[in-house]
Structure 1
Amino acid sequence: MKRNVLIIGAGGVAQVVAHKCAQANDRLGDLHIASRTVGKCEAIIASVHEKGAMKVPGVFAAHAVDAMDSAAVVALIRRLGVEIVINVGSSFVNMPVLEACIEAGVAYMDTAIHEDAGKICETPPWYGNYEWKRRDRCKAAGVTAILGVGFDPGVVNSWARVAEDEFLDEITSIDIVDINAGSHGKYFATNFDPEINFREFTGTVYSWQGGKWQSNSMFEVGRVWDMPVVGEQKAYLTGHDEVHSLSARYPGADVRFWMGFGDHYINVFTVLKNLGLLSEKPVRTAEGLEVVPLKVVKAVLPDPASLAPGYSGKTCIATIARGVKDGKPAEVMLYNVADHAEAFAEVGSQGISYTAGVPPVAAALLVADGTWDVGTMVNVEELNPKPFMNLLNVMGLPNRVKDAGGDRELAF
């Protein structure tokens, strides 16, 4: 049994994680949240208390820490006596935080692949560049490290495992489709950290097809998907984290990720990119100031956490697996629909943050009770999906399945 949780990060996803941990603090124990700016952590804790989210009276404390400093994170872990770290900070801090967890001997989880600030779209598989190099050390230390346990990556990976275990004898393709049919009312904004968001879309689009990596450019390949609740939506082939682990488990299947974009987003993105404003390379202004264009764009765009109060509409995210069942072609869609306004009413965040923040808390509960405390490094599809699915169903992210048998709740 593991108890006491440290949340790293203080953005929109961290707010969701904080509220959901509070709702389960009878099982998770003392709660702590840390980032470089302690005031942001204090504001999140205040929102938890305003919503009356703490299930039982207990500790929820804010701390200042530089997550890039592994030694500082180790010292904080040991001082607080935490046994589970939920890292929802910038993906630039993944490796320092993971190193700290290995050193301290505590469980680690994150929601995205590590990124090197100086590199974009490294050679696939991306997990092989940083995370997987630490597998042996995690195993030797008996440290549970669950990689990419947000929604996508995360829940969508677990759905692929459900398709493998429950619905298909052989998987020939996996398409992950992420549609945000909501509206934030701003001229232009990103749902996550703009710097991370734009880096994701300025590099090469990698997919796994025909048993090898295929390269495309962003917005080169698009198609219309008919999705539950949100209807027909245009989505584009996009490079994304889960392709890089799912392709390792299902090497004989085509694995693709599709993300929905409106024409307005594409137009603004294209202008920014063509002007060089999405570059991570420093430039010098006429006044002699050295600036990074991408960081300037980030500074002038709305903070993603600020979008929540006015967000309306729904998201629909799905894993669509095709293959063979009982010798015949078969297809299954596993999906979730989330509502932005409902997410804000519960935890004060928009739906994108909600879908990313609930799963790591479900994972923490499974680590706490020993179900997922595997003592090594894993991606989500390597873990038993059934207890995860059942927790998500009662934590605000109900799972559904659509196949030849109809459209129904997915529960075990």
Structure 2
Amino acid sequence: MGEMKRNVLIIGAGGVAQVVAHKCAQNNDLLGDIHIASRTVSKCEAIIASVREKGSLKVDGVLQAHAVNARDTAEVAALIRETGAQIVINVAQAFVNMPVLDACIETGVAYMDTAIHEDPEKVCEAPPWYGNYEWKRREAAAKAGVTAILGVGFDPGVVNAYAKLAIDDYVPEPASIDIVDINAGSHGRWFSTNFDPEINFREFTGTVYSWQNGGWQENRMFEVGKTWALPVVGEQKAYLTGHDEVHSLATNYPQADVRFWMGFGDHYINVFTVLKNLGLLSEKPVTTAEGLEVVPLKVVKAVLPDPSSLAPDYTGKTCIGTLVKGMKDGQPAEVFIYNVADHKEAYLEVGSQGISYTAGVPPVAAAMLIADGTWDVGAMKNVEELDPKPFLDILNRIGLPTCIRDAQGDRPLTF
């Protein structure tokens, strides 16, 4: 651990980046200068205007926009050097993870992201997904003494910390880890995705991988569903879904079944199924009768609402948590550790809806722990490989409080 790290470079300018910028600004006494970079500099400038308008800066400081092609390692490295950033928060599309990570290793600065790298040409690669890309840079990160925290959004991210806390303190012999993600909010549109439609639909068109009975199990999307009785949002139908955190948790806790469940309404499933069956979710170009070459998925993205435009009208709550079952002291034990977030409260505070809020607050908590040295470990880590308590303690303070449900009922958790 060297000197304290300061100065943040945020890569990306979507709904999550907006939350990250506001939260960095609210903690800029610790985090220092804030730089935002994206292909479209006007989007970065709009986020800066929002930060200034809401008076989010805690102390006077640098808040600057930049244009960058994040798929170009050399360009990202040059921007890191130019800005003097020591912490990079990558919340751009998952297609840029590897070039940005490589730029951080090259310049010796801390890296974090909120999702696994994706190759635009490939959908649903062989598990464990991290092994195809990020984990291949483990040695390089360690050699450079670079702290790289992978998947530090909410899920993946906070739910991994919940799993670690559950196993450390409540269920030391885990038999199953189930992550449940319910958005019980309403955006008032006929149909929309809550984040980038390209990434959203890619998540659901491939094989659903879960880790069960010591091996990878394959299912189809919407094949396995169950109703969950959850705090605040009540009974909700959720489906076994492929997701990033399954791939690191299964590697770190191979003795436990690891599954991810996401809530979907019938309307979403119907629209998704029609789009998929018509071929409109395909990434392979087609040629129209007029000779125009188009990618169906990009056309669907163009006609759907921009997810960041949903925020003003969004109402209702999210409930996302980790249920761990197993044994403690020879007795069956189970615990559900979770967060409930409110779309309207998120919008009033930072101008984003709750899905962006839950994804954008955690990397800032991680940045604060890198800045003060607690998580500045000089190596590549998934969230469950780090001490969860300081992380969840900061989240309690900056907008994502942790709750627990066990034999004693539901209550807030403090650290």
Structure 2 residue matching 1:215: 3-state secondary structure:
strand
Match of 1:329 in 2: 332
State the match for 2:385 in structure 1. Answer: 382
Cα displacement (A) at 1:221: 0.2
**What does residue 21 of structure 2 align with?**
18
Query: How far apart are residue 326 of structure 1 and its match?
Result: 1.3
Which letter maps to 1:37? Answer: T
Matching residue's letter, 1:117? P
State the one-letter code of the partner of 1:42: E
Local SS of the residue matching 1:146:
strand
Rounded to whole Å, the distance in 2 between the matches of 1:180 and 1:34 is 29
Tell me which of 28, 36, 39 is aligned to 2:39.
36
The one-letter amino acid paired with 2:154 is F
Q: Displacement, 1:406?
A: 2.1
Aligned to 1:116: 119
Tell me, in whole angstroms, the C-alpha distance in 1 between the residues paired with 2:290 and 2:103.
Answer: 41
Counterpart of 1:113, as a letter, is I
2:172 and 2:28 mapped to 1: Cα distance?
40
1:151, CA displacement in angstroms?
A: 0.1
Does residue 207 (structure 1) correspond to residue 210 (structure 2)? The answer is yes
- Secondary structure at the aligned position of 2:373 is classed as coil
CA shift digits 1:250-306 (9 cap, x unpaired): 101000000000000000000000000000111111111111110110111111000
Counterpart-to-counterpart distance in 2, 1:310 and 1:407: 30
In 2, the alpha carbon distance for the partners of 1:205 and 1:312 equals: 30
Q: In the TM superposition, what whole-angstrom CA distance separates every residue of 1:377-408 from its partner, at most 9, and x where no partner exists?
A: 00000000010010000110000011012211
The equivalent residue for 1:267 is: 270
**3-state SS, counterpart of residue 363 of structure 2:** helix
1:111-260 to structure 2, matched below 5 A, reads: 111-260=114-263
The SS at the match of 1:76 is helix
CA displacement 1:132-157 (0-9 Å, x = unmatched): 00000000000000000000000000
Letter in 2 for 1:12: G
Q: Which amino acid aligns with 1:194?
A: P
Q: Shift of residue 169 of structure 1?
A: 2.1
Q: Give the equivalent residue in structure 1 for 2:69.
A: 66
2:363 aligned residue:
360
Deviation (angstroms), 1:178: 0.2
- 1:115-168 deviations in Å (ceiling 9; x for gaps): 000000000000000000000000000000000000000000000000111101
2:94 match: 91
Give distance in 1, aligned partners of 2:231 and 2:153.
21
Letter of the 1:288 partner, please give it: G
Q: Distance in 2 between matches of 1:384 and 1:234?
A: 32
Q: Which runs of 5+ in 2 are unaligned?
A: none
CA distance, structure 2, for counterparts of residue 97 and residue 291 of structure 1: 28
Residue ranges of structure 1 left out of the alignment (5+ in a row): none
Residue identity opposite 2:276 in structure 1: K
- 1: CA distance, partners of 2:298 / 2:373: 41
Q: Secondary structure at the match of 2:221?
A: coil
Q: Do residues 338 (structure 1) and 341 (structure 2) align? A: yes
- Which secondary structure state, in structure 2, belongs to the residue aligned with residue 43 of structure 1? helix
Aligned residues between the structures: 412
Structure 2 counterpart of 1:309, from 287, 309, 312? 312
- AA aligned to 2:193 is T
Give distance in 1, aligned partners of 2:110 and 2:413.
28
C-alpha distance after superposition, 1:211-240 (max 9, x if no partner): 000000000000000010000000000000
In the alignment, residue 51 of structure 1 is paired with which amino acid?
K
Secondary structure, aligned partner of 2:404: strand
TM-score, with length taken from structure 1: 1.00
Q: Per-residue CA shift, 1:57-80, capped at 9, x if unaligned?
A: 000000000000110000000011
Q: Distance in 1 between matches of 2:39 and 2:135?
A: 27
Q: Could you say what secondary structure the match of 1:287 adopts?
A: coil
Following superposition, the deviation at residue 410 of structure 1 comes to: 1.2
SS for the counterpart of 2:375 is coil
Find the residue that maps to 1:82 and give its secondary structure. Answer: coil
1 CA distance for matches of 2:166 and 2:188?
37
1:100 aligns with 2:95: no
Q: Offset at 1:113? A: 0.3
The CA distance in 2 between the partners of 1:361 and 1:34, in whole Å, is 16
What is the DSSP-based 3-state SS (H/G/I as helix, E as strand, rest coil) of the residue aligned with 2:65?
A: strand
Once the two structures are superposed, residues 342-374 of structure 1 have per-residue CA deviations (whole angstroms, 9 ceiling, x without a partner) of 000000000000000000000000000000000
Q: In the alignment, which of 280, 298, 312 is matched to residue 295 of structure 1?
A: 298
**SS across alignment from 2:396:** helix
Opposite residue 156 of structure 1, the aligned amino acid is V
